[in-house]
A and B are shown apart, each in its own frame.
Chain A
Amino acid sequence: MKAIDVRNINKAYHGEAMVLEDVSFEVQEGEFFAIVGPSGCGKSTLLRIIAGLENVSAGTLYMNGEDMVNSRPNERQISMVFQNYALFPHMTVAENIVFGLHVKKISKQQQKQRCLEAARLLGLEQLLDRKPRELSGGQRQRVALGRAIASEAPICLMDEPLSNLDAKLRSKMRAEVRQIQRRLGMSMIYVTHDQVEAMTMADRIMVLNEGSIQQIGRPLDVYNYPQNQFVATFIGSPPMNMTKATLNGQHIQLTDGWQVAASGWEEGDVCAGVRPEHLTYAAEEPPTFTAAVEHIEILGTETLLMFRMNGELWIAKWPGQWDFQEGEEIPLKVDEEHIHFFQPGTGRRIDKRVLPADEMYMEAAL
């Protein structure tokens, strides 16, 4: 069953700048759905529309099968976790967790029980009498999660909840949030600008840019088959390497010495892209091309090699530790199947490979 069904939502402020343009997607019950995009792409606005904190300019919104586009936030059966946690500084952790439950006519005893359950789930039992200012960032984050859990709303909305934490804590909380969502079976819409979060946590992700949907799909599909140039460069770190390539008879010419067969090709000039991990070291076999190392970063488990390709900075990611001198020529190899092509004007993917069906995956996941 669909938990949320967003249809053709438009949002404009003061009738001028379009913040969201014709956004449509659906979220299944129990699904972890991440909305990812650069800052200012409209992802937070979209979440606030779903929460009922902002109005839509046009479009409809169904939640659990009911038209909810004009209903108040508390009628939507949602909980929301804010980026700054929205904790009340004058209330204890326990009071913060059960905040607002009295509205739903839940007895004091039951409130206490829910509070204890949420606290146990999050490891907050020892902190229930503290005030938020006596907590660390990660603990505050947990209290905010606790409020969402205690409300027992079937839909949970999260607005960049981990972005105020340091890197180590973030990766820990990533796993924790994901586990809790699974265990409680809530439908989650999770907004983030961090593509790693989206990739690692979500069942499906939606890439948003300048208010319009770029691609919706499960993380690996989006990673392996980016539908346009924006998605290709936004998802993945370091981003996909891009260069212009020209059509030369039956071949696409990437550089002077590197060409790929293109029989029955209808496009003219194209953009070609290769992920950093697909630029491998040509040890024995003849290299696809060679390049002079401009800069090298050894990260311990992997090594990043930067070089110029038709004037663009390209990055190759090799597993292990490699030591090259700057300026040294290195032989590189690229499998043809790992080259992505995009139309230069629209940025759209040019592809004859078929995407695996979305529905098949969803059944497997649920």
Chain B
Amino acid sequence: MIAVKDQIRVRPKSKRRFSTLLEGLLYLLPSILLFAVFLFYPMFKTIYLSLFLTDAQGNTQTFVGLEHYIQLFQSTSFLSSLKATVLFVLYTVPAGVLLALGLALLANQKLKGIGFFRTIFSSTMGMSVAASSVIWLFIYNPTIGIANTIIKTFGMTEMQWLLNPDTALLSVALPTIWMNTGFSFLILLGGLHNIDSSLYESGKIAGVGDFYSLRKITLPLLSPTLLFIVTVSLINSFQTFGQIDILTKGGPMESTNVIVYSIFKDAFVNFNIGSASAQAVILFTFILAVTILQFKWGEKKVHYQ
């Protein structure tokens, strides 16, 4: 301790601060490099491109300022795309998290053969988006799909799941929930495992009911995990692309044309890279704002141990 104090006294403060900063950066260099190449550079390039008109190769032609943004907020297509995205998030995130939480609570019971169910419930984690989308494509098939077979046995008429603008977004949301459940389930189960069993035993001795202990013990202690899962699911949901591309291609009548798909179409189908970049920037600020809001809200509600 004494030696360190002496060093501080001898060296001027700013110089010392600079050298420790340099040392710290050196340790961070590998990840900074990776982040710079794959995240920071593309991000700044996107912001830059969103201010220009470009040719088909993506080379900048003319500086247009905020023209793209103004146009976007006036275009009905983009606004409906925004609406579809928000709806899609609302369909998938709450339902997905609640489903995963329910399954995790079930799988956290100490029962014989529970390992089997834990494996099953988390198995969708191992499925690629493409593979599961193809499975759901078969499920939704109007003539041979099991979805129609099931609703026919309940006496309802056959449906054009993915071709009807009213049901298409829900029909894409359903597979998304199914795909995301595995990951959320696994994380929530881990969170449940971390709750000290003596807390429940204390509750048992006091004689509190199951619902009370779920509300007063499990949920508060699981809240950090829940916040994490909600945040990750939200971001994932905002960025959904694969299942839309395979199941509906943004149709019918742009009812499933969520922002990321719209970005993809603008950039790689219409070669309108400036506008696509502007959309990407809007999506980024959107996600950033939601995440910040969530953490602000979470700070009050979440109990870190």
Contacts from A to B (Cβ < 8 Å): 51-53, 72-75, 78-80, 82-84, 86, 88-90, 99-101, 103-104, 133, 147, 151
Cβ–Cβ < 8 Å partners of B208 in chain A: 100, 103
Q: Which of B202, B207, B221 contacts A82 (CB 8 A)?
A: B202
* CB–CB B201/A88 < 8 A: no
Chain B, residue nearest A101 (CB): B206
* CB–CB B220/A51 < 8 A: no
Q: Which of A74, A89, A101 contacts B205 (CB 8 A)?
A: A74
Counting CB contacts under 8 A, is B57 at the interface?
A: no
* CB–CB A74/B202 < 8 A: no
In the complex, chain B residues 204-249 whose Cβ is within 8 Å of any chain A Cβ = 204-209, 216-217, 220-221
Looking at the assembled complex, report how far the CB atom of A353 sits from the nearest CB atom of chain B, in whole angstroms: 43
* CB–CB B305/A89 < 8 A: yes
Counting CB contacts under 8 A, is B198 at the interface?
A: yes
Contacts from B to A (Cβ < 8 Å): 196, 198-199, 201-209, 216-217, 220-221, 303, 305
Chain B, residue nearest A159 (CB): B198
* CB–CB A99/B206 < 8 A: yes
State the CA gap A151–B206 with chains docked (Å): 8
Looking at the assembled complex, report how far the CB atom of B290 sits from the nearest CB atom of chain A, in whole angstroms: 25
Besides A52-B204, A86-B199, 16 other CB < 8 A contacts?
A53-B204, A73-B204, A75-B207, A80-B205, A86-B198, A86-B201, A89-B221, A89-B303, A90-B303, A99-B202, A99-B203, A99-B206, A100-B202, A100-B205, A133-B305, A147-B202
| Residue in B199, B205, B208, B303 with the greatest tally of chain A CB atoms within 10 Å | B205
* CB–CB B196/A72 < 8 A: no
State the CA gap A258–B201 with chains docked (Å): 57
Q: Which of B196, B202, B207 contacts A104 (CB 8 A)?
A: B207
Question: Given known contacts A89-B221, A89-B303, is B207 in contact with A72 (CB within 8 Å)?
Answer: yes
Looking at the assembled complex, report how far the CB atom of B215 sits from the nearest CB atom of chain A, in whole angstroms: 12
Interchain residue pairs A-B with the least CB separation, the first 4: A100-B206, A74-B207, A90-B303, A86-B198
* CB–CB A90/B207 < 8 A: no
Cβ–Cβ < 8 Å partners of A104 in chain B: 207
State the CA gap A96–B199 with chains docked (Å): 11
| Residue in A74, A99, A100, A133 with the greatest tally of chain B CB atoms within 10 Å | A100
State the CA gap A103–B209 with chains docked (Å): 8
Cβ–Cβ < 8 Å partners of B216 in chain A: 88
State the CA gap A48–B20 with chains docked (Å): 54
Cβ–Cβ < 8 Å partners of B206 in chain A: 74, 99-101, 103, 151
* CB–CB B207/A53 < 8 A: no
* CB–CB A79/B205 < 8 A: yes
State the CA gap A51–B199 with chains docked (Å): 14
State the CA gap A104–B208 with chains docked (Å): 9
Looking at the assembled complex, report how far the CB atom of A190 sits from the nearest CB atom of chain B, in whole angstroms: 16
Looking at the assembled complex, report how far the CB atom of B70 sits from the nearest CB atom of chain A, in whole angstroms: 47
State the CA gap A11–B12 with chains docked (Å): 70
* CB–CB A82/B204 < 8 A: no
State the CA gap A56–B206 with chains docked (Å): 21
State the CA gap A271–B22 with chains docked (Å): 71
Looking at the assembled complex, report how far the CB atom of A172 sits from the nearest CB atom of chain B, in whole angstroms: 24
Chain A, residue nearest B302 (CB): A90
Chain B, residue nearest A85 (CB): B198
State the CA gap A52–B201 with chains docked (Å): 10
8 contacts between A and B (CB under 8 A): A80-B205, A86-B198, A86-B199, A99-B202, A99-B203, A100-B203, A101-B206, A103-B209
* CB–CB B221/A100 < 8 A: no
Cβ–Cβ < 8 Å partners of A75 in chain B: 207
State the CA gap A82–B202 with chains docked (Å): 8
Question: Given known contacts A72-B207, A100-B208, is B220 in contact with A82 (CB within 8 Å)?
Answer: no
Cβ–Cβ < 8 Å partners of B202 in chain A: 80, 82, 86, 99-100, 147
